[in-house]
Structure formats: structure tokens, C-alpha cells
Amino acid sequence: RLGFTGGIDSAGKHDCLIAANRGLPEPYAHFLSEAGLFELHARDFAERHPPIRCYTNVTPSTLPDDAYCDNWIGARALDLLKAVPAGKPWFMQINFAGPHEPLDVTEAMLHLYDHVDFPLPLNNHRIEPDSHQAMRRNYAAMTENIDAWVGKLVAAVAARGEQDNTLIVYASDHGDELGDNDQWHKCLPTHGSIHVPLIIAGPGVHAGHVTTPVDLVDLHATLVDLTGAERVAAGAGSGESLSPALRGVELGWAARSSGLGGWRTWFDGRYKYVHNHHGGLTARDVVPASFDTSVNAPALLIDLGNDPGEQHDISVEQPPIAARMRSELLAEVAACTTNPLG
């Protein structure tokens, strides 16, 4: 039978409020209600309303530490792991809510990075530097808190005597602009949004750093491959196994695509071609848009090797590179018509 045999399907710190307001069952909202904390959480989030207060309001959460969403998720994950019968194979997926706006942290996390001055966002003119520092310090504290929970989960695996036969994958679904170019949230084809960490560790995994572009869809193919199972669906757009890289073998491709809403990218580790997009679009613009396969659609070409801040479109200066990458991307999109990207 396909699917999970158990778990806790939490909507997280944001959407638990929406679910509760619609009368839908949601485990984190239920926990808060049972603890008499739901209204406290709702009032706190009302003061962190998008689009900008969810970033600029860096006051600590009004919840006690154990009720803070990521701490609740980590504790429930430990409960589930400890309940797995000894000697039985298992797979667990843990989705922490953070680091994510609103930038609420606990009192214990609030001052962890007071001594650190982070690089300020590129090309941002709307918010004072001190406010940017406060936001980035909270974001870093959220990340460190999750790292601590990962450590607790790894220790729990070791306590079960399973550290020598457990593969651990650390990844994220997206990043955040955090003010670069006066942009916030996700959804844009910039590296701040789409370039996320992917760390795989475990027995037999070759230590090293892979620079070949990969995609989150590759994780499905990789995990199925490692179990020796047969993939239910394979083909263009369904991902490629990263197993060779885990053995220290070079991956067999040079570029990968990514996409959401109206845009698609083609990235080869240095150049990033973005089709059907221009620099003036925001996250609100791109999500509902349709992808235009026309060769005349607006496009960007970024040389990340020389322009990591993605400030300069060189598509006019480098037409051969732009044309080649457009051709490769549109061929990939055409091959994915049965499994559309994005």
C-alpha cells in the first residue's frame, strides 16, 4: 500500500489558524486549544500580518517554549521515532515550519545572534539597516533551533542502535528573498528563493561537495533507488537518482530546470537562464501566471560566477548562451508535458 502508515499532518504555525477558522481539524491548533493557548497565538499573529509586518515584527513569540511550533514538531517527531518497533524498517519525513516568516522566535532564542552583524540585503531602500539586522538574527536563530532538533533526532537514532544503517537527508522546499532587491517571501527565480541546502549523510555516503545542479524531485528517485524498489512513475520531470553522487561518482547531466507559475529556469552551475520573466515582477505576479513557451517571451540570463547577487541581465550581451539555454530548457519542458514542471 502506498503512503504513510501514521503521522501527524500539521499545517504549521500559519495555516493552523486558517484551518481552525474554517472549522477544519488541525493537530497543532488542537494542541494549542487544549493548552488554552490558541487565542494567544492568534492575537500574536494578527500583529505580524503580511506583507511586511511578518518580517519587521521581531518581538518574541507569546507562546511558551514547548508550544512554539518548531519545538512542538520536533517533540512529536521524537515521539513517533521512539514508537517505531525495534528491528522494523522505517521512513520518516519531518517538516519543520521554520525558518519562515513571521519571524517569531522564543524568548530563549531572541538574543542568540545579538553579537553577529549579517550582510545587509542587496539593493534594498525601504527598511533601515538595524531592522534588517534584527530580522536576519531571528532568521538565524530559527535555523539554529532546527539544527538543535536535528541533533536530538540523530541522537535518538543512535540510541536505537540504528546510526549505522540510517540515511539522513536535510533539505528545504524554498528560501527567502529577505529584502534583496526590495523583495520578500519566495516564488521568484532568484537564488535566494530557489537555491536551498541539500545534505545527505549516512553509511556508505561519500564525503564531498556536489556542484552539479540537482532538484528536490531527485530525492524521490534517489530514495526509491536506494531501497531497491521499482519506481511507480519514471520519465522526464520525475527526477533522477543521486545515488552515483553518494558513491563519489559524477552525475550524468550538466544543467537542471526549476519553475513555478509563469517562469522556468535552466541552470548549469554558472549561468542561469530564466524564461518568461523580467526583473520587475514580484512573487504576487508570478504564481498565477501561465508559462509562455514562445521564444519571444521575456527572459533573463545571469552569470552567477561573476554576479552572485544577480544584478545584471546579460542576455543581450551573450545571445549565443541565451539561445542555447533557451533551446535546452524548452526541449526539457516539451518532454515533461505528461508531468508538467511547477
pLDDT tens-digit series, residues 240-291: 999 999 999 999 999 999 999 999 999 999 999 999 998 778 888 888 888 9
HSE toward the beta carbon, residue 286, CA cutoff 13 A: 24
- Residues 161, 30 share a domain: yes
Helices (H) and strands (E) in the chain, counts: 11, 6
| Cα–Cα dist 20/200, whole Å | 36
Judge whether 209 lies within some domain.
no
| Cα–Cα dist 115/170, whole Å | 27
Please list, residue by residue across 128-142, b when 16 or more beta carbons sit within 10 angstroms of its beta carbon and e when fewer do: eeeebbbbbbbbbbb
Percentages helix, strand, coil for the chain (3-state, rounded to 5) are 35, 10, 55
Share above pLDDT 70 across residues of the chain, in percent, rounded to a whole number: 96
Distance of CA 242 to the CA centre of its chain: 18
- Residues 277, 139 share a domain: no
Domain of 53, in residue numbers: 12-166
Residue 336 is predicted with a pLDDT of: 82
CATH number, position 306? 3.30.1120.10
DSSP string, 74-94: HHHHHHHHHTSPTT-------
- Residues 135, 271 share a domain: no
Judge whether 326 lies within some domain.
yes
- Residues 40, 141 share a domain: yes
Residue 166 is predicted with a pLDDT of: 97
Over its C-alpha atoms, the chain yields an Rg (Å, rounded) of 22
- Residues 17, 159 share a domain: yes
- Residues 273, 156 share a domain: no
> What is this structure's pTM?
0.92
| Cα–Cα dist 234/313, whole Å | 35
- Of the residues 113, 148, 166, which one is the last residue of a structural domain? 166
- Residues 261, 161 share a domain: no
Q: Grid cell 537518482 — which residue?
A: 241
Judge whether 154 lies within some domain.
yes
Please list, residue by residue across 317-336, b when 16 or more beta carbons sit within 10 angstroms of its beta carbon and e when fewer do: eeeebbeebbebbbebbeeb
Judge whether 245 lies within some domain.
no
Judge whether 30 lies within some domain.
yes
C-alpha cell at position 314: 546579460
Judge whether 193 lies within some domain.
no
Residue 297 is predicted with a pLDDT of: 94
3-state DSSP call for residue 141? Answer: helix
- Residues 25, 156 share a domain: yes
Residue 341 is predicted with a pLDDT of: 41
What length is written for the chain? 342
Judge whether 321 lies within some domain.
yes
- Residues 23, 161 share a domain: yes
Output the tens digit of pLDDT for each of the chain's 342 residues. 667 888 899 999 999 999 999 999 999 999 999 999 999 999 999 999 878 899 999 999 999 999 999 999 999 999 999 999 998 999 999 999 999 999 999 999 999 999 999 999 999 888 999 999 999 999 999 999 999 999 999 999 999 999 999 999 999 999 999 999 889 989 999 999 999 999 999 999 999 999 999 999 999 999 999 988 887 766 666 889 999 999 999 999 999 999 999 999 999 999 999 999 987 788 888 888 889 999 999 999 999 999 999 999 999 999 999 999 999 999 999 888 655 444
- Residues 268, 159 share a domain: no
Nearest Cα residue to 196 out of 226, 223, 169: 169
- Residues 263, 155 share a domain: no
| Cα–Cα dist 124/302, whole Å | 20
Judge whether 6 lies within some domain.
no
- Of the residues 137, 166, 195, which one is the last residue of a structural domain? 166
Residue 283 is predicted with a pLDDT of: 80
How many distinct structural domains can be found in the chain?
A: 2
C-alpha cell at position 76: 512529536
- Of the residues 166, 200, 232, which one is the last residue of a structural domain? 166
